[in-house]
Structure 1
Amino acid sequence: MATDTSDPIVPDDKDWTWVLHERCGECGFTAADVDPRQIGATVRDLLPRYVSALHRDDVRVRPEPTVWSTLEYSAHVRDVFRIFGGRLELMLAHEDPLFENWDQDATALADRYDLQDPAVVAEELVASGEATAAAFEAVGDDEWERTGRRSNGSFFTVRTLGQYFLHDVVHHLHDVHA
């Protein structure tokens, strides 16, 4: 059933960093099992599934009024690639940087994820995914333990940032049933 995408989404205020230590009960992903040297290859393997999902006839349909559509989730993942690519760059260039806060829900509203062109989102998602995959592949063996922090105090190494990031990408494929 098609739903009006103007219905409000309840902001997700959970601290998802727990996925670094526990298996995600929703998507089954276990971040701690990820070899960080495989992050780039895994991202590249997942990109075609997002592109395929963005070509479905129901791409704009929300399964429930307060659950993002495939288009909205995919636009979010495109931005996840961009944000985490930037955070990785900061961690490699600076000692223990503090990341700017990113309110994903405010971004979804401000950028009107629900009204974006699925073909454009697919192109941008692939481009940003490829760039972030390449950035993780370029991490040197001596750089995986470099640190960075989120504005809420969550601490990451390059390795755990990559594992946390990859959970987001995998989890949202689960959300869009792709």
Structure 2
Amino acid sequence: MVRDVTDTTPPADGIVPDTKDWTWVVERPCPECGFDPAAVDPLAVGDTVRATLPRWREALGREDARERPAPAVWSPLEYGAHVRDVLTLFDRRLHLMLTDDRAAFDDWDQDAAALEGRYAEAEPATVATDLTTAGDRIADRFDTVRPDDLERTGVRSNGSRFTVRTFGRYLLHDVDHHLHDVEA
């Protein structure tokens, strides 16, 4: 099921869909989490992703990993499942950017993915393992990026254009921002 992203009626899980365009974080610091895209070394994205994985495992190992801090806010478990899926999706997209001169990405409805993937019902230990695997996989792929790959492009279905450089920033913001969300 693909949900109309203009519909802000909370679904059965109580979460209002996030319809913000977050692409600005590739150019400006995020006032919510403090992420600064200017500080990202585009050839060290793999190491940076790997450095977040222990924090995710810790958050998912907490006693309260299944608890939402408020009815309309995801639990650490739900955020962890989302980040696992983001890492997997971004790995596929980075592969396209590195191998296809006209890389184009289909739309991904993160809210539909959460409902279909039953994030709230997942096992925290399984999500931690799967997130670590997905994180290692995309980190390994970013390790293959050479300086002459940094300006290769990919275009999202809404027209947002990324280079490998800005794509790494966008990914790192997502991972860091959600660590901020779960206070890890």
TM-score range, shorter chain: over 0.9
Which residue of the partner structure matches residue 168 of structure 1?
A: 174
For residue 98 of structure 1, give the secondary structure of its aligned residue in structure 2: strand
Q: Please, which runs of 5 or more residues in structure 1 have no aligned partner?
A: 1-5
Determine whether 1:11 maps to 2:11.
no
Tell me the TM-score normalised to structure 1 length: 0.95
Which residue of the partner structure matches residue 112 of structure 1?
A: 118
- How far is the alpha carbon of 1:119 from its aligned partner? 0.7
Deviations 1:45-103 (A, max 9, x none): 11000001111110010001000000000000001110001000001110131101110
Mapping of 1:35-46 within 5 angstroms? 35-46=41-52
Count of residue pairs the alignment pairs up: 173
Pairwise CA RMSD of aligned residues?
Answer: 0.9
In the alignment, the residues of structure 2 paired with residue 20 and residue 32 of structure 1 have an alpha-carbon distance, to the nearest angstrom, of: 8
- How far is the alpha carbon of 1:22 from its aligned partner? 1.2
Mapping of 1:44-63 within 5 angstroms? 44-63=50-69
Match of 1:33 among 39, 52, 71: 39
Match of 2:136 among 105, 130, 138: 130
Which residue of the partner structure matches residue 145 of structure 1?
A: 151
Letter of the structure 2 residue corresponding to residue 102 of structure 1: W
Contact 1:54 1:119 in 2 (8 A): yes
Match of 1:80 among 86, 89, 95: 86
Tell me the TM-score normalised to structure 2 length: 0.92
For residue 63 of structure 2, give the secondary structure of its aligned residue in structure 1: coil
Structure 1 residue ranges (4+ consecutive) displaced by more than 4 angstroms after TM superposition: none
Deviations 1:104-124 (A, max 9, x none): 010000110000011110110
